[in-house]
Amino acid sequence: MKSAKSQSGGKHAKGHTEQQNTAGQEASAYISDPDSPSIDSQSIGDGIIQDEVAVAAAEPEAKSQPKAKASLLPPYDGPVLEVRNVHRSFQTGSRIIHVLKGIDMEVNPQQLVMLKGRSGSGKTTLLNMLGGLDQPSSGDILFSGQPLQDWGDRKRTSLRRKEIGFIFQAYALMPLLSAWENVELSLRMADVPRSEWKDRVGHCLDLVGLSKRVKHRPFEMSGGEQQRVAIAKAIAHRPRLLLADEPTAELDSKMGAQVMSVFRNIIEVEQVTICMTTHDPTILEVADHVYEMADGRFIK
């Protein structure tokens, strides 16, 4: 796993020990400011995980009673994602690095779309933008027809919590929580009413083939099983979009194939849309569409 990058838009989950160590501190921040501030200036893994650590550590009573999932987005029949001429540059010291150089793409409902390309081509930078974790330097990203750049930090945070599920290369599960509790956490974060948790957690763990592992903690499971818990967790709150950053990179080919078959199944059953990055040529055939990136552009 690579280290986090120097500036906004970096990536990757922190190690578990670090997640645990920050729990108390993050929890108090969460309680004192329930509408937690934007995490857009943090890496994809850092932002999501700090958010989760805070919610996991907070006493349930410290939050107001969860409300039913309010719709953030008006009904829309078009693509889940429309990306128009997106550029992203980073400044490191006196240097400006132009990472994305005019990206155009569309992701339609219930598609499995893959971004492939060599290391450093810009895949994760783009994924961060698609999840509203970072903003383009120029260009537009529409999520279900809504231009994300016109949304404030708070609304984008809410979009991430309610409409997007994130999956990482290194699973990013809470190490002290069981599979069941890890999935439950995502419902708590999305303000899903507690009365719905039991059925929904059971259903999601069943979908990923882990109904017999619900009490296991991450260290008691194989890599493939942990990644399937992470998938159950990512879909539990019924997001429209799943974003996965190299979800099979740590797995052998058999477990990688299982994860891809779970992806196909949840697209059918949960009607979710998936956009993922990969280096693995053996899984590309499962995709509905593959975008190949080189040096910040798509190769035709």
Name the residues that contact ligand ATP, by CB under 6 A: 5-11, 90, 92, 97, 99, 117, 119-125
Report the alpha-carbon distance of residue 291 to residue 123 in Å, rounded: 10
Shortest Cβ distance from residue 96 to ligand ATP (Å)?
Answer: 10
Report the alpha-carbon distance of residue 247 to residue 168 in Å, rounded: 6
Shortest Cβ distance from residue 141 to ligand ATP (Å)?
Answer: 15
Shortest Cβ distance from residue 166 to ligand ATP (Å)?
Answer: 15
What's 260's DSSP letter?
Answer: H
**Residues 6 or more apart whose Cβ sits within 8 Å of residue 182:** 173, 174, 218, 229, 230, 233
Shortest Cβ distance from residue 92 to ligand ATP (Å)?
Answer: 5
Shortest Cβ distance from residue 126 to ligand ATP (Å)?
Answer: 7
Tokens 């994809």 belong to which residue?
44
Closest CA to 270 of 244, 243, 238, 241: 238
Smaller CB separation from ligand ATP, 57 or 103: 103
Smaller CB separation from ligand ATP, 11 or 156: 11
Length of the chain: 300
Smaller CB separation from ligand ATP, 53 or 99: 99
**Hey, is 159 helix, strand or coil?**
helix
Smaller CB separation from ligand ATP, 97 or 284: 97
Question: And the tokens for 98?
Answer: 């132009």
Smaller CB separation from ligand ATP, 125 or 178: 125
What's 149's DSSP letter?
Answer: G
